[in-house]
Structure 1
Amino acid sequence: MTKDEVKSLVQVNPVIVYSILDGQESWRYDIGAKEGYSHEVDVEGLEQSDVVDVEGLKQKKLEGVLFVEWTKDSKVNSFTIYYPANDGTIQEYRVFETGQIKETTPFKD
């Protein structure tokens, strides 16, 4: 899937963010964000980093966060969704470039 296809599917402008691991550009979508919601984190000189707003998710300021990572030829490489579960934890659903799916609970109280 290309960047244009993702834009057409999601129909919301992404926030361009950069990986704190390698500086690689990715897109962040704040899903179901309350009016006025904002999450901007500067890390090591990056304008916007790919830090997950765990507190915002726990406080239900948004319903989820989607990160889309790209290949060099602007096709989806992988994507990750973070969302609050009913038990209060934050869940991660990640689809790798190989198609492998991994579900974890990276943020526990």
Structure 2
Amino acid sequence: MNSKSLVLSATALAALVASLFTFAQDDKFGKYAMFQKTAKRPETAEPVETKLPLKLDTGTRIGLVGNTLFDRMHQFGHLEALLQQAHPGKQLVVRNVSWAADEVDLQ
């Protein structure tokens, strides 16, 4: 790639970004956009006291949210198998929605 095409590519990219920003600011579509300064924040919730051992009802849904530790569990079913063995007949549903390198304070 020569320098002339590189400059042209950078100019095209800058024009694309500018047009997208203008498009997002348009009144017609602006109501669907979310901006950091004006986005609504979730309501606060009171903490729930956890009592161990957990009492799981039939059909309880368990969600695993976390970083690489839980993400690697996609490859193996050990935890899910242990949960099902510990609570036979409960028909537990386990969902692993973790993401490698996920952090609470970085998005």
Q: TM-score range, shorter-chain basis?
A: under 0.3
TM-score scaled by length of structure 1: 0.19
TM-score scaled by length of structure 2: 0.19
User: Larger % of helix: which?
Assistant: 2
User: Larger % of strand: which?
Assistant: 1
Bigger relative contact order (CA 8 A; separation at least 6): 2
